[in-house]
Amino acid sequence: GEGGLLQQLTKRVIEAAMDGEITDHLGYEKHDPAGKDGGNSRNGSRAKTVLTDVGPVEIVVPRDRDGSFEPQIVKKRQRRLTGVEDMVLSLSAKGLTTGEISAHLAEVYGAEVSRQTISTITDKVMDGMAEWQNRPLDRVYPVVFLDAINVKIRDGKVANRPIYVALAVTAEGTRDILGLWAGDGGEGAKFWFQVCTELKNRGVEDVLMAVCDGLTGLPDAINTVWPKTVVQTCVVHLLRNSFKYASRQHWDAIAKALKPVYTAPTEQASEQRFLEFAETWGERYPAIIRLWENAWAEFVPFLAFDAEIRKVVCSTNAIESVNARIRRAVRARGHFPNEQAALKCVYLAVMALDPTGTGRRRWITRWKPALNAFDLAFEGRLTAGRN
């Protein structure tokens, strides 16, 4: 609380640090005779209030006679310590609006932070986002997941606009978001072609497998950029789209009946299991049968590969965990005033993934069997791209 122990400790630590800084700057201790008539010297102090993690703290900032002292722990004109900025960014990444963040800081820390100040803090990430979006990439990726999330943007009127996400499994077994792009709502396959071209220009020479939804024209767009890439329809998308045509009471039964189709040991066995599924559910839900038949050519490629490769391709944790975090942040906002605000929200959400690094360590531990399987199945392209 106000005037509490944490605020007093924070005040003492900051003031002690600044006393040390001005001592280094002047070259002598306070009250040391060595500084007498030695040119520049201490010249009193001034009061200043800074916002910290424990609320507003009033500190005393030392001054020197010629005004050359530049404190580093709390710089001139700085009103917030970095912990507060980190807190604002963290709350924003979780989907809180500027008003909600302001109310939270006032309620918990007794700190009055305006919406404009919070917006200014979050706007700083856009410079980092531009650099991140244009960073060089690896030469080869075993798997790249391509997906889009619809967000509501108020551009004259509120309308759904896609945010495109490219998530890669790296040759070291980690997950890496390659980029985020705001679409104009036009033809998706054409925009994905531009995205793939940009990735290639940033250094991606080869992608072993690309996993995407069943968008018409997307496989051709991918193979135009990377001719050797195996394009695989995302099984999770197929299942989710299947449920759209079925009553809620039948979802569990349909999921159970479809599992033998995508876990079959061979393409022939998968086709046999699908015929059995069609015989059972075709009359009630013909649209589900048609959905799988139309996607069959892009669904079956992964059935020819080792179980370790299938595990990576079919992992719901890869792209779905990213999508879930993005949807949570987007849903909390409702809609955005412009495209830039939507991208900022999504960027903050993906930057907040796996903050402890636990997921990264787990992926690396499980990756070695899949690495060997990819190298054998794709005739050394993975190793050649890494060298």
pLDDT tens for 52-108 read: 766 788 888 898 888 888 887 778 887 777 666 677 777 777 777 788 888 877 776
Count of residues making up the chain: 387
Looking at residue 105, its pLDDT comes to 72
Contacts of range 31-35, beta carbons closer than 8 Å, 24 or more positions apart: none
Q: Say yes or no: 310 and 165 in one domain.
A: yes
Residue 178 host element (H or E): strand 175-182
Q: Say yes or no: 248 and 347 in one domain.
A: yes
Looking at residue 247, its pLDDT comes to 92
Residue 188 host element (H or E): helix 188-201
Q: Say yes or no: 17 and 109 in one domain.
A: no
* Alpha-carbon span 249 to 183, nearest angstrom: 36
CB atoms near residue 247 (< 10 Å): 10
* Alpha-carbon span 145 to 232, nearest angstrom: 9
pTM across the whole model: 0.72
Q: Say yes or no: 240 and 370 in one domain.
A: yes
Q: Say yes or no: 204 and 143 in one domain.
A: yes
Domain boundary at 82, 108, 126, which? Answer: 82
Q: Are 19 and 30 in contact (CB under 8 A)?
A: yes
Q: Are 344 and 122 in contact (CB under 8 A)?
A: yes
Looking at residue 111, its pLDDT comes to 61
What's the helix, strand, coil split of the chain in %, to 5?
55, 20, 25
Q: Are 41 and 26 in contact (CB under 8 A)?
A: yes
Q: Say yes or no: 360 and 243 in one domain.
A: yes
SS3 387: coil
Looking at residue 89, its pLDDT comes to 74
Looking at residue 253, its pLDDT comes to 93
* Alpha-carbon span 285 to 29, nearest angstrom: 84
* pLDDT tens profile 265-318: 889 999 999 999 999 999 999 999 999 998 898 888 888 888 888 877 775 455
Q: Say yes or no: 349 and 221 in one domain.
A: yes
Domain boundary at 82, 98, 122, which? Answer: 82
Q: Say yes or no: 232 and 281 in one domain.
A: yes
From the first residue on, what is the mean pLDDT of each consecutive set of 10 residues in the chain (387 residues)?
66 79 83 72 86 78 87 79 70 77 73 73 77 91 88 82 88 87 76 92 93 82 92 86 92 92 90 93 93 89 84 66 80 81 84 67 73 84 75
DSSP string, 285-321: -HHHHHHHHHHHHHHSGGGGS-HHHHHHHH-HHHHHH
Q: Say yes or no: 78 and 89 in one domain.
A: no
* Alpha-carbon span 175 to 192, nearest angstrom: 20
Q: Say yes or no: 10 and 76 in one domain.
A: yes
Q: Say yes or no: 94 and 52 in one domain.
A: no
Domain boundary at 108, 134, 160, which? Answer: 134
Q: CB under 8 Å to 268, separation ≥6 — which residues?
A: none
* Alpha-carbon span 261 to 280, nearest angstrom: 14
Looking at residue 185, its pLDDT comes to 67
CA diameter of the chain: 100
* Structural domains in the chain (count): 3
* Alpha-carbon span 78 to 48, nearest angstrom: 10
* Alpha-carbon span 19 to 2, nearest angstrom: 24
Q: Say yes or no: 124 and 189 in one domain.
A: no
Phi, psi for 184 (deg, rounded to 5)? -95, 5
Boundaries of domain holding 97: 85-134
Q: Are 302 and 313 in contact (CB under 8 A)?
A: yes
